[in-house]
Amino acid sequence: MEKLEAELASLRARAETLNSRHAAADAEFFDAKSKLQRHHLEADLNADNKARAKLEATVATCAVTRDGYADALAEVQAKVADVEQKLAAERATVERKAASETLAGDLDAVEHALPDYLAACKRFADALEKLHFHPESGAMVLFIGNTATQVEVAAGFALVELRGMVDAIRDGIAPIPAAKPEATSVPMTEPSAPMQTVFMMKSAKYRDHEGRSRFAGQFEDATMPVMSAQRALRMGVAVPVTDPRRAQLRGSRGGDFNPRAPDVVDLDAVEEQKPESLPHVNPVVREANFTPLPTKAPRTILIDVPRS
269 against 224, higher pLDDT = 224
Q: Across all residues in the chain, what is the average pLDDT?
A: 84
Same domain, 138 and 18: yes
Domain span holding position 239: 195-272+281-288
153 lies in a domain? no
Same domain, 141 and 201: no
Instruction: Give 290's pLDDT tier (boundaries 50, 70, 90).
Output: very low
Same domain, 129 and 200: no
Task: List the Cα angle 88/178/89 in 5-degree steps.
Answer: 10
Same domain, 126 and 202: no
Task: From 280, 306, 307, 305, select the one nearest 292 (Cα to Cα).
Answer: 280
259 lies in a domain? yes
Q: Please name the residues in contact with 170: beta carbons below 8 A apart, sequence gap of 6 or more.
A: 96, 97, 100
Same domain, 14 and 119: yes
Same domain, 129 and 237: no
pTM beyond 0.75: no
Same domain, 47 and 140: yes
Reported as a single tens digit per residue, the pLDDT across 21-64 is: 999 999 999 999 999 899 888 887 777 788 888 888 999 999 99
Instruction: Give 210's pLDDT tier (boundaries 50, 70, 90).
Output: confident
H or E element at residue 123: helix 49-129
296 lies in a domain? no
- Do β-strands 204-207 and 213-216 pair in parallel, antiparallel, or remain unpaired? antiparallel
Last residue of a domain, which of 109, 130, 145?
145
137 against 299, higher pLDDT = 137
- Report the domain count for the chain: 2
pLDDT at residue 180 in the model: 80
Cα distances from 217 to residues 75, 203, 204, 239, 258, in angstroms, run: 76, 5, 7, 13, 9
Reported as a single tens digit per residue, the pLDDT across 130-189 is: 887 888 888 998 999 899 999 989 998 998 999 899 889 888 888 888 888 887 766 766
pLDDT at residue 104 in the model: 92
What Rg do the C-alpha atoms of the chain give, in angstroms? Answer: 47
Same domain, 204 and 140: no
Residue type (1 letter), 45: L
Reported as a single tens digit per residue, the pLDDT across 67-87 is: 999 999 999 999 999 999 999
67 lies in a domain? yes
Same domain, 9 and 125: yes
What single-letter DSSP state applies at residue 220?
S
CB 118 within 8 A of CB 152: yes
187 lies in a domain? no
